[in-house]
Amino acid sequence: MRDFGNAKKIVVKVGTSTVTYPTGKLNLSRLEKLARVLSDIKNEGRDVVLVTSGAVASGLGRLGLTKNHKTTQEKQALAAIGQGILMQIYEKLFGEYGVVVAQVLLTKDVVDEEKKMLNVKNTFEYLFKYGAIPIVNENDVVAIEELEFGDNDTLSAYVATIIGADLLIILSDIDGLYSCDPRIDKSAELIKEVFEIDSYIESIAGGAGTLNSTGGMQTKIEAAKIAMQHGIPMVIANGENPSIVKEILEGKEIGTLFVSKNAVSR
């Protein structure tokens, strides 16, 4: 039985496909629902962190571009434009519910250098103390290869470990981990629980999903590895309706739960 009723610290990650339309424009209706749900969860007395993708896609949408540019310089410029758009929208939407939000931009060296990690951890703790919801993204503008998380799935897992989260929820455009790709094979079955990431689980993880996204099931499996190593349960679920976060916290059997055998036995 899934029991997250006592989960105090929650990290929710939303992918590009969740926060934007295929055009690259922000899905304002979905973002409004997400803000309402996370604000309500915070009102329950929980600490919430939102890890968000969509900066590059938002930049594309604002400039009226339809092609997803590939060079590092183009992505960094688009992220610089799009990140401001994202935060402006989040500030407005969360503000409607009286919730303060804080922008947190990270690079990979945070988890590689103990002092920086401690500084970030302390910042999160004070943001929780002030009643704010940290909104996290990778600092794409300054990130170079050795400083990149690679995708926000991995970033969300590291954030979960830094704050000592009780649960990580990754919202995507798929219901969870399937035995094979459900978009091309109707016999695909949803795997409800994973207690160990073995060669079979690795083998059924596919590539990147939508045009504007950078991750896929492979990156989510990598995130699960990080979370499970630190005893943090992780759920992959469909983010089409953000209210699903509440349902997960209520213990409903939704998506795919990744939880280590050691965590189950405790």
Residue 130 in contact with residue 100, Cβ under 8 Å?
yes
CB 51 within 8 A of CB 87: no
Half-sphere exposure of 143 (CA within 13 A, CB side): 24
Q: Are 12 and 159 in contact (CB under 8 A)?
A: no
Binding site members for substrate: 53, 140, 152
- Dig out the tokens for 86 from the structure: 């994202």
Residue list, annotated binding site for ATP: 13, 172-173, 214-220
- Cite the annotated binding site by residue number: 13, 53, 140, 152, 172-173, 214-220
Given a contact cutoff of 8 angstroms between Cβ atoms, the answer to whether 130 and 39 are in contact is no
